Structure 1
Protein backbone atom coordinates (compact mmCIF):
# COMPACT_ATOMS: atom_id res chain seq x y z
CA UNK A 1 0.00 0.00 0.00
CA UNK A 2 1.43 3.36 -1.00
CA UNK A 3 0.75 6.51 1.08
CA UNK A 4 1.49 9.93 -0.34
CA UNK A 5 0.47 13.55 -0.03
CA UNK A 6 -1.43 14.88 -3.02
CA UNK A 7 -0.19 18.28 -4.14
CA UNK A 8 -2.84 20.96 -4.60
CA UNK A 9 -2.37 21.11 -8.37
CA UNK A 10 -2.82 17.30 -8.64
CA UNK A 11 -6.02 17.00 -6.60
CA UNK A 12 -8.49 17.69 -9.40
CA UNK A 13 -7.70 14.41 -11.14
CA UNK A 14 -8.47 12.39 -7.98
CA UNK A 15 -11.54 14.20 -6.67
CA UNK A 16 -14.18 11.92 -8.23
CA UNK A 17 -12.40 8.79 -6.96
CA UNK A 18 -12.00 10.24 -3.47
CA UNK A 19 -15.66 11.26 -3.35
CA UNK A 20 -16.52 7.66 -4.27
CA UNK A 21 -14.34 6.40 -1.39
CA UNK A 22 -16.01 8.92 0.92
CA UNK A 23 -19.52 7.86 -0.13
CA UNK A 24 -18.90 4.14 0.20
CA UNK A 25 -17.31 4.69 3.61
CA UNK A 26 -20.14 6.90 4.85
CA UNK A 27 -22.77 4.41 3.70
CA UNK A 28 -21.00 1.72 5.72
CA UNK A 29 -20.31 3.69 8.91
CA UNK A 30 -22.69 6.65 9.14
CA UNK A 31 -25.91 4.69 9.45
CA UNK A 32 -27.57 7.62 11.22
CA UNK A 33 -27.57 9.71 8.01
CA UNK A 34 -30.53 9.65 5.65
CA UNK A 35 -30.07 9.31 1.90
CA UNK A 36 -31.01 12.97 1.57
CA UNK A 37 -28.32 13.97 4.08
CA UNK A 38 -25.67 11.86 2.35
CA UNK A 39 -26.47 13.50 -0.98
CA UNK A 40 -26.48 16.97 0.58
CA UNK A 41 -23.12 16.47 2.30
CA UNK A 42 -21.65 14.85 -0.81
CA UNK A 43 -21.92 18.18 -2.66
CA UNK A 44 -19.47 19.71 -0.14
CA UNK A 45 -16.90 16.92 -0.17
CA UNK A 46 -14.94 18.17 -3.23
CA UNK A 47 -14.58 21.59 -1.55
CA UNK A 48 -13.36 19.96 1.65
CA UNK A 49 -10.86 17.84 -0.27
CA UNK A 50 -9.53 20.85 -2.14
CA UNK A 51 -9.51 23.06 0.94
CA UNK A 52 -7.60 20.90 3.40
CA UNK A 53 -3.90 21.75 3.77
CA UNK A 54 -2.61 18.16 3.64
CA UNK A 55 -4.44 15.46 1.69
CA UNK A 56 -2.88 12.02 2.08
CA UNK A 57 -4.04 9.14 -0.11
CA UNK A 58 -3.54 5.40 0.21
CA UNK A 59 -3.61 3.45 -3.00
CA UNK A 60 -3.17 -0.21 -3.81
CA UNK A 61 -2.51 0.49 -7.48
CA UNK A 62 -1.44 3.76 -9.13
CA UNK A 63 -4.34 6.20 -9.43
CA UNK A 64 -6.68 3.85 -7.55
CA UNK A 65 -7.22 5.34 -4.07
CA UNK A 66 -8.73 3.12 -1.39
CA UNK A 67 -8.47 5.54 1.55
CA UNK A 68 -7.56 9.12 2.38
CA UNK A 69 -7.14 11.55 5.22
CA UNK A 70 -7.02 15.32 5.47
CA UNK A 71 -4.96 17.22 8.00
CA UNK A 72 -5.25 20.86 8.99
CA UNK A 73 -2.70 22.08 11.52
CA UNK A 74 -2.55 19.33 14.15
CA UNK A 75 -6.14 18.25 13.53
CA UNK A 76 -7.30 15.22 11.59
CA UNK A 77 -10.14 16.67 9.53
CA UNK A 78 -11.16 13.53 7.67
CA UNK A 79 -10.27 9.85 7.45
CA UNK A 80 -12.22 7.57 5.13
CA UNK A 81 -11.55 4.03 3.91
CA UNK A 82 -13.23 1.90 1.29
CA UNK A 83 -15.41 -0.58 3.17
CA UNK A 84 -13.41 -3.58 1.94
CA UNK A 85 -10.25 -2.08 3.50
CA UNK A 86 -11.71 -1.64 6.98
CA UNK A 87 -10.33 -3.86 9.72
CA UNK A 88 -7.06 -4.56 7.91
CA UNK A 89 -4.89 -1.96 9.66
CA UNK A 90 -5.03 0.72 6.98
CA UNK A 91 -6.80 3.27 9.21
CA UNK A 92 -4.13 2.71 11.87
CA UNK A 93 -1.38 3.07 9.26
CA UNK A 94 -2.82 6.35 7.99
CA UNK A 95 -3.37 7.79 11.46
CA UNK A 96 0.11 6.78 12.67
CA UNK A 97 1.56 8.35 9.51
CA UNK A 98 -0.38 11.55 10.24
CA UNK A 99 0.75 11.65 13.86
CA UNK A 100 4.38 11.11 12.86
CA UNK A 101 4.55 13.42 9.82
CA UNK A 102 1.94 16.09 10.60
CA UNK A 103 1.76 16.05 14.39
CA UNK A 104 -1.95 15.12 14.58
CA UNK A 105 -3.20 15.75 18.12
CA UNK A 106 -6.97 16.19 17.69
CA UNK A 107 -9.95 14.78 15.85
CA UNK A 108 -13.69 15.43 15.85
CA UNK A 109 -15.94 12.41 15.39
CA UNK A 110 -19.67 11.79 15.16
CA UNK A 111 -20.82 10.28 18.44
CA UNK A 112 -23.31 8.21 16.42
CA UNK A 113 -20.41 6.42 14.71
CA UNK A 114 -19.34 4.10 17.56
CA UNK A 115 -16.82 2.21 15.42
CA UNK A 116 -14.91 5.43 14.74
CA UNK A 117 -15.12 6.50 18.39
CA UNK A 118 -13.74 3.11 19.44
CA UNK A 119 -10.98 3.29 16.83
CA UNK A 120 -9.77 6.69 18.02
CA UNK A 121 -9.97 5.63 21.66
CA UNK A 122 -7.93 2.52 20.80
CA UNK A 123 -5.39 4.80 19.11
CA UNK A 124 -4.96 6.85 22.29
CA UNK A 125 -7.48 9.68 21.87
CA UNK A 126 -9.77 10.83 24.68
CA UNK A 127 -12.89 12.96 24.50
CA UNK A 128 -12.48 16.43 25.98
CA UNK A 129 -15.66 18.08 24.68
CA UNK A 130 -19.08 17.08 23.36
CA UNK A 131 -21.67 19.05 21.42
CA UNK A 132 -25.33 18.19 20.85
CA UNK A 133 -25.20 19.25 17.19
CA UNK A 134 -22.68 19.25 14.36
CA UNK A 135 -20.99 22.34 12.89
CA UNK A 136 -24.00 23.03 10.66
CA UNK A 137 -26.47 22.71 13.53
CA UNK A 138 -27.64 19.25 12.48
CA UNK A 139 -28.82 16.73 15.08
CA UNK A 140 -25.53 14.85 15.09
CA UNK A 141 -23.60 15.07 18.38
CA UNK A 142 -19.85 15.52 18.00
CA UNK A 143 -17.04 14.33 20.21
CA UNK A 144 -13.86 16.39 20.26
CA UNK A 145 -10.93 14.12 21.02
CA UNK A 146 -7.25 14.69 21.68
CA UNK A 147 -4.28 12.38 21.76
CA UNK A 148 -3.09 11.66 25.30
Structure 2
Protein backbone atom coordinates (compact mmCIF):
# COMPACT_ATOMS: atom_id res chain seq x y z
CA UNK A 1 0.00 0.00 0.00
CA UNK A 2 1.21 3.46 -0.82
CA UNK A 3 0.26 6.48 1.27
CA UNK A 4 -1.90 9.10 -0.40
CA UNK A 5 0.12 11.89 1.24
CA UNK A 6 2.75 12.18 3.92
CA UNK A 7 1.12 11.88 7.31
CA UNK A 8 -0.80 15.15 7.87
CA UNK A 9 0.31 15.48 11.49
CA UNK A 10 3.91 15.48 10.27
CA UNK A 11 3.22 18.11 7.63
CA UNK A 12 1.73 20.58 10.09
CA UNK A 13 4.23 21.49 12.85
CA UNK A 14 1.52 22.86 15.17
CA UNK A 15 -0.27 19.49 14.99
CA UNK A 16 2.86 17.64 16.11
CA UNK A 17 3.17 19.94 19.12
CA UNK A 18 -0.50 19.41 20.03
CA UNK A 19 -0.18 15.65 19.68
CA UNK A 20 2.89 15.65 21.92
CA UNK A 21 0.93 17.56 24.57
CA UNK A 22 -1.95 15.04 24.37
CA UNK A 23 0.52 12.17 24.73
CA UNK A 24 2.18 13.80 27.73
CA UNK A 25 -1.16 14.55 29.41
CA UNK A 26 -2.52 11.02 28.95
CA UNK A 27 0.70 9.42 30.17
CA UNK A 28 1.10 11.63 33.24
CA UNK A 29 -1.99 10.59 35.22
CA UNK A 30 -0.55 7.46 36.80
CA UNK A 31 -2.24 4.89 34.55
CA UNK A 32 0.07 1.92 34.05
CA UNK A 33 1.67 2.10 30.60
CA UNK A 34 0.51 -1.46 29.93
CA UNK A 35 -3.11 -0.31 30.16
CA UNK A 36 -2.53 2.61 27.81
CA UNK A 37 -0.70 0.34 25.39
CA UNK A 38 -3.53 -2.21 25.48
CA UNK A 39 -6.27 0.34 24.77
CA UNK A 40 -4.17 1.84 21.99
CA UNK A 41 -3.66 -1.55 20.38
CA UNK A 42 -7.30 -2.61 20.72
CA UNK A 43 -8.73 0.62 19.29
CA UNK A 44 -6.21 0.46 16.43
CA UNK A 45 -7.20 -3.14 15.68
CA UNK A 46 -10.88 -2.16 15.55
CA UNK A 47 -10.13 0.74 13.21
CA UNK A 48 -7.78 -1.27 10.99
CA UNK A 49 -4.89 1.15 11.45
CA UNK A 50 -1.90 -0.85 10.26
CA UNK A 51 0.87 1.52 11.43
CA UNK A 52 -0.68 1.82 14.91
CA UNK A 53 -1.28 -1.92 15.26
CA UNK A 54 2.23 -2.65 14.09
CA UNK A 55 3.98 -0.04 16.24
CA UNK A 56 1.73 -0.73 19.23
CA UNK A 57 2.39 -4.47 19.22
CA UNK A 58 6.12 -3.93 18.69
CA UNK A 59 6.31 -1.42 21.55
CA UNK A 60 4.46 -3.81 23.84
CA UNK A 61 6.75 -6.68 22.94
CA UNK A 62 9.80 -4.46 23.49
CA UNK A 63 8.51 -3.58 26.97
CA UNK A 64 8.31 -7.28 27.82
CA UNK A 65 4.75 -8.18 26.89
CA UNK A 66 4.16 -11.89 26.34
CA UNK A 67 3.08 -13.36 23.01
CA UNK A 68 0.09 -14.94 24.76
CA UNK A 69 -1.25 -11.52 25.64
CA UNK A 70 -0.27 -9.82 22.38
CA UNK A 71 -1.85 -12.47 20.20
CA UNK A 72 -5.10 -12.52 22.16
CA UNK A 73 -5.92 -8.83 22.52
CA UNK A 74 -8.73 -9.12 19.92
CA UNK A 75 -10.30 -11.95 21.95
CA UNK A 76 -9.41 -10.70 25.43
CA UNK A 77 -12.80 -11.74 26.85
CA UNK A 78 -12.12 -15.40 26.09
CA UNK A 79 -8.64 -15.62 27.59
CA UNK A 80 -7.20 -15.76 31.10
CA UNK A 81 -4.33 -13.38 30.32
CA UNK A 82 -5.77 -10.02 31.36
CA UNK A 83 -6.39 -8.51 34.78
CA UNK A 84 -9.73 -7.04 35.81
CA UNK A 85 -8.49 -3.44 35.41
CA UNK A 86 -7.12 -4.31 31.96
CA UNK A 87 -10.44 -5.91 30.99
CA UNK A 88 -12.35 -2.82 32.14
CA UNK A 89 -10.04 -0.56 30.11
CA UNK A 90 -10.27 -2.80 27.03
CA UNK A 91 -14.07 -2.78 27.22
CA UNK A 92 -14.08 1.01 27.56
CA UNK A 93 -11.73 1.27 24.57
CA UNK A 94 -14.01 -0.89 22.43
CA UNK A 95 -17.15 1.03 23.32
CA UNK A 96 -15.54 4.46 23.02
CA UNK A 97 -14.13 3.48 19.61
CA UNK A 98 -17.40 2.08 18.23
CA UNK A 99 -19.55 5.07 19.13
CA UNK A 100 -22.07 4.69 16.30
CA UNK A 101 -22.78 1.00 16.92
CA UNK A 102 -25.42 1.53 19.62
CA UNK A 103 -27.78 4.23 20.94
CA UNK A 104 -25.88 4.45 24.25
CA UNK A 105 -22.25 4.49 23.04
CA UNK A 106 -20.69 3.81 26.45
CA UNK A 107 -23.30 2.16 28.71
CA UNK A 108 -23.22 2.83 32.43
CA UNK A 109 -22.13 -0.73 33.23
CA UNK A 110 -19.01 -0.32 31.06
CA UNK A 111 -18.18 3.03 32.63
CA UNK A 112 -18.97 1.84 36.15
CA UNK A 113 -16.71 -1.19 35.78
CA UNK A 114 -13.83 1.03 34.67
CA UNK A 115 -14.56 3.42 37.55
CA UNK A 116 -14.13 0.53 40.00
CA UNK A 117 -10.49 0.22 38.94
CA UNK A 118 -9.44 3.77 38.10
CA UNK A 119 -9.66 7.13 39.82
CA UNK A 120 -11.30 10.01 37.99
CA UNK A 121 -7.97 11.46 36.78
CA UNK A 122 -6.93 8.02 35.51
CA UNK A 123 -10.25 7.57 33.71
CA UNK A 124 -9.75 10.97 32.11
CA UNK A 125 -6.32 9.87 30.89
CA UNK A 126 -7.65 6.58 29.51
CA UNK A 127 -10.49 8.34 27.66
CA UNK A 128 -8.07 10.95 26.35
CA UNK A 129 -5.71 8.22 25.15
CA UNK A 130 -8.53 6.30 23.45
CA UNK A 131 -9.59 9.51 21.70
CA UNK A 132 -6.00 10.29 20.68
CA UNK A 133 -5.60 6.77 19.32
CA UNK A 134 -8.80 7.12 17.32
CA UNK A 135 -7.52 10.47 16.03
CA UNK A 136 -4.35 8.80 14.73
CA UNK A 137 -6.27 5.82 13.38
CA UNK A 138 -8.51 8.08 11.31
CA UNK A 139 -5.60 10.08 9.91
CA UNK A 140 -3.71 6.92 8.98
CA UNK A 141 -6.74 5.15 7.48
CA UNK A 142 -7.87 8.19 5.46
CA UNK A 143 -4.41 8.73 4.00
CA UNK A 144 -3.59 5.01 3.65
CA UNK A 145 -0.48 5.16 5.79
CA UNK A 146 1.27 1.77 5.60
CA UNK A 147 2.89 -0.05 8.47
CA UNK A 148 6.68 0.45 8.39
CA UNK A 149 8.56 -2.12 6.34
CA UNK A 150 12.01 -1.90 7.86
CA UNK A 151 12.22 -2.33 11.61
CA UNK A 152 15.85 -3.45 11.64
Q: Same fold (TM over 0.5)?
A: no
- TM-score, normalised to structure 1, is 0.28
TM-score, L = length of structure 2? 0.28
1 or 2 for the larger relative contact order (CA 8 Å, sep ≥6)? 2
Greater percentage in helix = 2
**Bigger radius of gyration among the two:** 2
Structure with the higher fraction of residues in strand conformation: 1
